[in-house]
Structure 1
């Protein structure tokens, strides 16, 4: 059984505007250090996944950029989506390709733009999840997801409720008491309000939904056939087109007819055989500028500055200047200020999620130069 990885890299990172643009979206930004988020994602797969077993699904416009950022990934393993259809079609495409090449393929699916601080712990959780995804020979192999043990009542993530008391015989449950184990998933919950998030945290049997999955390629395609039959009918036949002159045309035809639906809503919330492996390895989806501030080293006043920045009587703020331009904050608290030369974002920390609304506004009013 070979382990394959599928990196989902098709998003535009709207909440990272003004740095994230359609021409150079979030996954290609060097947010933490000198390497891009997608390069960090690829690097943390080593040595569990060989480079030739890494598959990237991205926007068709980003195929060349992906090749530049990940030269070790074979060009044939970088698939371009002609249109965005959310995560279910993306995963169906990847599963069809992997199953055509390896009938025993197990696939790890993960976003391109997350941060993981403790890679060793992450690998430990992955090994447990891969074992769990093989099943016990009794019925179909399960679908496995990774849940993050919450550290605070977060309203920006979905949640997973799991059977904290149940043991799965033979499935990664023979280690130390604090070792990661697979548990049955009871429910998936949408992003909650603060009161509900506090209740989830107090309950002790809820995890953050990380958006990372592990399953056998044949198991997820069987789930598509059961729960999203139209998507299955469109993408399963692509197995005959991969590696031929028909590949791009066949993919385009499938996407043109495919519904826009997430893997969570279309399959995970419907399936009766879903497991979760809880983990604590310093995870963040780096979803907005507030997350960047929280994940960055700060001064005694809780500030983080990058570039030519002066802060006076300012606290709990993040400021980033570009091109040597002087950026000055005076008497500010809980501010996010990002300058890119042609645009400046000034936002309260608690409103960071609403930056996406700005991008929608720019799009609606034809201000494409800023997108």
Structure 2
């Protein structure tokens, strides 16, 4: 039985000023009429019903989750008392999901990624589930073939040990590597045995808890009380014990230590919508490379981008600018500064 965990606790600081701590990027409609978290849920719903989709988020975002995902059962909102990186988030969520679906297979997904080939994505998830039926001690991740020397993503180095399962190829992972500089990213691209790490995982819920018990025992022991807590006391217990977990990523806590990690190369039209430039890649453009938007008029201008709400924006004779309207201000930025905007936050306030 498949269950999904959508991690939605990030603050989205790279998209300031549009994304704020009060309403981070997973709750914004950056590239579609729907928000990023709505797109993530809709993507997985054809194979996992809503009662088996869980969202882990912070207390301050619970109202946004309820507003944007009104069909999500309230028990499926897992509340982190504080952000402590992905390992505690995943361990807590695994313990909570196990309360309701004891022997499930758990799909872990970020809340803010783009996947254009959704049918293929779902096919790969089902292939991974099938593989885990006979290989329950394995951990599977999805890796995307790089098409540029990207310095903003982590990478997965894979081996020559592979096998086929239905429509997918399952390959043994050699190691996970951090975000590289440009020179190393070019080496990875030319090497041919590296994939982008999209932070998506599939594992048996009992296996991942065993992995935590083995490699991250403090987090496991701290959160094990979640399994037996009364429903009415569950959040109070989480609030009390969560701060005692080890604040560490699941990559460091588990993935770098386990010897049964496999990757499925995934041609799914994936992108981590993590920068303004990534939005620029997918928004519709006119013949002069201006990104189209409602309430925007461009005259003798090219290569511009505008994200506006109520005010009509008119651009005349300009190029390579980005305009962002928030409730507090209108920001007009040379596009060369797009992905450095957060560095100017304190100066602008």
TMscore range, shorter length: over 0.9
Counterpart of 1:91?
90
The match for 1:159 is 155
Aligned to 1:293: 280
Which residue is equivalent to 2:132? 133
> Please, what is the CA RMSD of the aligned residues?
2.1
Structure 2: how far apart are the matches of 1:99 and 1:18? 38
Aligned to 1:121, the other structure's residue is in SS state helix
What pairs with 1:1-371 in structure 2 (closer than 5 Å)? 2-136=1-135, 141-163=137-159, 165-168=160-163, 173=164, 175=166, 179-241=167-229, 244-312=231-299, 314-328=301-315, 330-333=317-320, 335-349=321-335, 351-359=337-345, 361=346
1:57–1:81 CA contact under 8 A, matched in 2: yes
- Kindly state the Cα deviation for residue 47 of structure 1 after the two structures are TM-superposed: 1.8
Do 2:37 and 2:112's aligned partners in 1 also have CA atoms closer than 8 Å? yes
> How many aligned positions are there?
349
Distance 2:207 2:157 in 1: 22
| TM-score under structure 1 length normalisation | 0.88
Post-superposition offset of 1:230: 0.8
Question: Structure 1's 47 and 313: CA in aligned 2 closer, same or farther, altered over 3 A?
Answer: same
Which consecutive unaligned segments of at least 5 residues does structure 2 have?
none
C-alpha distance 348-269 of structure 1, shift in aligned 2 (>3 A): farther
Alpha-carbon separation, structure 2, partners of 1:337 and 1:181: 44
**For 1:162-182, what per-residue CA distance to the aligned partner results, in whole angstroms no more than 9, with x for missing partners?**
12x3223xxxx155xxx4211
The 3 A distance-change label for structure 1 pair 98 and 146 is same
The Cα shift of 1:313 comes to 5.2
Over residues 84-113 of structure 1, what are the superposed CA-to-partner deviations in whole Å (9 max), with x where a residue is unaligned?
111111100111112232221110010111
TM-score for the superposition, normalised by structure 2: 0.93
Give per-residue Cα distances to partners, 1:187-215, cap 9 Å, x unaligned: 11111111211111111111111011100
